[in-house]
Amino acid sequence: MDYSLKGLPARGDCLIAASIADAITLIPMVASDSASHELCSLIYSGLIRYDKDLNIIGDLALSWEISQNGREIVFTLRDDVRWHDAVPFTADDVLFTYHSLIDPKTRTPYAGDFNKIESLQVINPYKIKVTYAQPFAPALSSWAMPIIPRHLLQNEDLSFAKFGRQPVGTGPYKFVRWVTGQQIVLKANDDYFGQRPYIDYYIYRVIPDPSTMFLELQAGGVDLMGLTPLQYNRQTQNVYFNRCFNKYSYPSHGYTYLGYNLRDNKFKDKKVRVALDMAVDKQSIIDGVLLGLGRICTGPFLPDSWAYNKGVMSRRRDIPGAKRLLAQAGWADTDGDGIIDKDGIKFQFCLLINQGNSLREYAAQMIQQQLKEVGVMMRIQSIEWGVLLGEFINKKRFEAVLMGWGLPPEPDCLDIWHSSRVREGEFNFISYKNEEVDRLLEQGRLVIDRASRAGIYQRIHSILYDEQPYMFLWIEDSLPIIHKRFKNIKSSPSGIRYNFTEWYVPSEEQKYGPRHKVLL
């Protein structure tokens, strides 16, 4: 062996990632679970993708031009891309993907952004023009949607196609096999149009029990998994873990909040909501529940992104101040039982949480204790997810709820905050209504210029924090642990996966070589 090459990037080896859930289908627009999306992102490519700082960069598209005030996007596509079965990729595939998305027969939940398209024209095999009925700022980011191959799917019903279990894409990894409930194996795509990944194989291993997964990590059967805060802080501090694994932490793309039903008289007054916010010490919850591995959330935007308003400061815990505000709103403890009341009605409410999420259960108990100090009585009820959604959230039969939203790089959140989105099953289930926010959300979709959009979303951020329709709680950290032989892994605002194709194992450290039988 030539030792001068020690530690240098080399092709080979295999990464075994563990997940608690199996993928459902590998047709990206039909899949709605995170496991499927994670695998699809390795198998397929979209027209655009995000770089490490969450900027939009070309993937299948070499370049694009936005004109007509944002109504038109002309994409120039790469002409050197082949599907995994060697058939060339062309604009027809993009057209086909679009038609599949808007086809009423396709069981896709993601048609929304694409129904806004007025026409999609193929100018030549490597140029397409997308025209929107009106300017639509999130349009460009919606083209991160993976493109599917026309030549394999044009006569198939996407909802039932066998293709979902033997996909063909243009991404850095090719599909090899899928053993239901056990593992999915991918292999590096030698003809990938970008940089061919160093790591030859990617095995996605399904291990439904987190404790078992942790044991399998120690046994060497898993190279990458997400840790719980407890595992991160307490169970992986010994010599063995320090020798064999690297741990990473970065803000996850999601936040947890306590949402009030604003149709409930108790929560209609902004003073009350602000007082409740002042009564709860978020940092103590983060320290207690997440063992410090998270940050305080002040609004529905990704921290460090352009839409995030750095000027929004979280309120300090202030019990006397909270009591004063509640008193101004008419709530005081008149009968001396420790619970504040108004017009003979005590301030008590029920917080709904979804069953089986222990972090939320602990957090709810801490909030309960802290609210007691200002005389507010909160009960906690945990309910199975399907029932919580179907019977309580969608039908608006709740007082308050502890839940989370994702924080995608595209900040448009009209569907969550706009006062028109209050029908059963829509996402403004707390019935929030603020005319300025409505207007800003609409503008945010129409204005294309990044700087003007930033102003709009930063304003929304500060209004929402001021008005407290949600008590914004925390953004927890993602805590992946990865075997030490994998190099060139760098944390960034978008996480660690953005440069997965550049991860490598130096040849002298490779565990699974051609001689190792895992790799067929």
Partner 1 sequence: MRHYLIRRIILTVPTIIGISLVSFVVIHLAPGNPVDSMTMLDPKVSFEAREKLMAQYGLDRPIYAQYMDWVRRIVFLDFGVSYRDGQKVIAKVAARAPVTLLINILSVLLILLIAIPIGAASAVRCGGLYDRFTTVIVFIGFAFPGFWLALLLMSLFGIRLGWLPVQGIVSLDFDTLTAVGKTVDVAMHLVLPVFVSCVGGIAGMSRYVRNNMLEILHKDYIKMARAKGIKERDVIYKHALGNAVLPIITILGLSVPGLIGGSVIFESVFGIPGMGRLFYESVMSRDYPVVMAVLVIGALLTLVGNLMADISYSVADPRVRYDK
Asked if 99 interacts with partner 1 (CB under 8 A), we say no
Among 403, 440, 479, 496, binds partner 1 (CB under 8 A): 403
Among 15, 16, 94, 147, binds partner 1 (CB under 8 A): 16
Asked if 413 interacts with partner 1 (CB under 8 A), we say yes
Q: Going by C-beta distance under 8 Å and a sequence separation of 6 or more, which residues neighbour residue 242?
A: none
Asked if 113 interacts with partner 1 (CB under 8 A), we say yes
Looking at the Cβ atoms of 154 and 159, the one nearer to partner 1 is 159
At CA 245, angle to CA 244 and CA 246, rounded to 5?
A: 145
Question: Quick one: which of 292, 244, 226, 256 has its CA closest to 479?
Answer: 226
Residue that has been written with the tokens 């609409």 in this structure: 442
CA distances from 250 to 293, 302, 476 (A): 9, 12, 8
Looking at the Cβ atoms of 70 and 411, the one nearer to partner 1 is 411
3-state SS string for 119-179: EEEEEECCEEEEEECCCCCCHHHHCCCCCCCHHHHCCCCCCCCHHHHCCCCCCCEEEEEEE
480-483/341-342 β-pairing: unpaired
Asked if 182 interacts with partner 1 (CB under 8 A), we say yes
Looking at the Cβ atoms of 16 and 48, the one nearer to partner 1 is 16
Looking at the Cβ atoms of 299 and 375, the one nearer to partner 1 is 299
Classify residue 124 as exposed, middle or buried by CB count within 10 Å of its CB (0-12, 13-18, 19+).
Answer: exposed
Asked if 425 interacts with partner 1 (CB under 8 A), we say yes
Among 221, 321, 455, 495, binds partner 1 (CB under 8 A): 221
CB of 156 to partner 1, least distance (A): 11
Only one of the segments 20-28, 45-53, 128-136, 192-200 lies at the binding site for partner 1 (rule: CB under 8 A); that segment is 20-28
Asked if 430 interacts with partner 1 (CB under 8 A), we say no
400-406/348-354 β-pairing: parallel
User: What are the DSSP calls for 9-76, one per residue?
Assistant: ---EEEEEEEESS--S-S-TTT--SHHHHHHHHHH---SEEE-TTS-EEESSEEEEEEEGGGTEEEEE
Among 268, 379, 423, 490, binds partner 1 (CB under 8 A): 423
CB of 415 to partner 1, least distance (A): 5
Asked if 108 interacts with partner 1 (CB under 8 A), we say yes
Q: Phi and psi for 82 in degrees, rounded to 5?
A: -120, 145
Asked if 154 interacts with partner 1 (CB under 8 A), we say no
User: What does the per-residue mask of binding to partner 1 show for 452-491, with x meaning CB under 8 A?
Assistant: ----------------------------------------
Among 243, 316, 515, 517, binds partner 1 (CB under 8 A): 517
Among 25, 45, 100, 370, binds partner 1 (CB under 8 A): 25
CB of 136 to partner 1, least distance (A): 14
CB of 282 to partner 1, least distance (A): 22
Question: Quick one: which of 448, 350, 467 has its CA closest to 141?
Answer: 448
Only one of the segments 45-53, 189-197, 210-218, 474-482 lies at the binding site for partner 1 (rule: CB under 8 A); that segment is 210-218
CB of 441 to partner 1, least distance (A): 12
Only one of the segments 79-87, 109-117, 229-237, 248-256 lies at the binding site for partner 1 (rule: CB under 8 A); that segment is 109-117
CB of 347 to partner 1, least distance (A): 28
Answer positive or negative: Cα dihedral of 216, 219, 225, 231. positive
Only one of the segments 108-116, 123-131, 332-340, 501-509 lies at the binding site for partner 1 (rule: CB under 8 A); that segment is 108-116
183-188/173-179 β-pairing: antiparallel
Looking at the Cβ atoms of 161 and 440, the one nearer to partner 1 is 161
Q: Phi and psi for 9 in degrees, rounded to 5?
A: -60, 135
Rounding to the nearest 10 degrees, give the CA dihedral for residues 104, 107, 113, 116.
Answer: 0
What number of chain residues touch partner 1 (CB under 8 A)?
63
Asked if 134 interacts with partner 1 (CB under 8 A), we say no
Asked if 516 interacts with partner 1 (CB under 8 A), we say yes
Q: Going by C-beta distance under 8 Å and a sequence separation of 6 or more, which residues neighbour residue 404?
A: 254, 255, 256, 257
User: What are the DSSP calls for 491-508, one per residue?
Assistant: -BTTBSGGGGGG-B--GG
Asked if 218 interacts with partner 1 (CB under 8 A), we say yes
* Inter-residue contact 248 to 489 (CB < 8 Å): yes
- Output DSSP code: residue 233: I
Q: Which amino acid is at 87?
A: V
Binding site for partner 1 (CB under 8 A): 16, 22, 24-25, 30, 32-33, 104-105, 107-113, 115, 159-161, 164-165, 180-183, 203, 206-209, 211-212, 215-216, 218-219, 221, 384-387, 389-391, 393-394, 403, 405-406, 408, 413, 415-416, 421, 423, 425-427, 516-518, 520
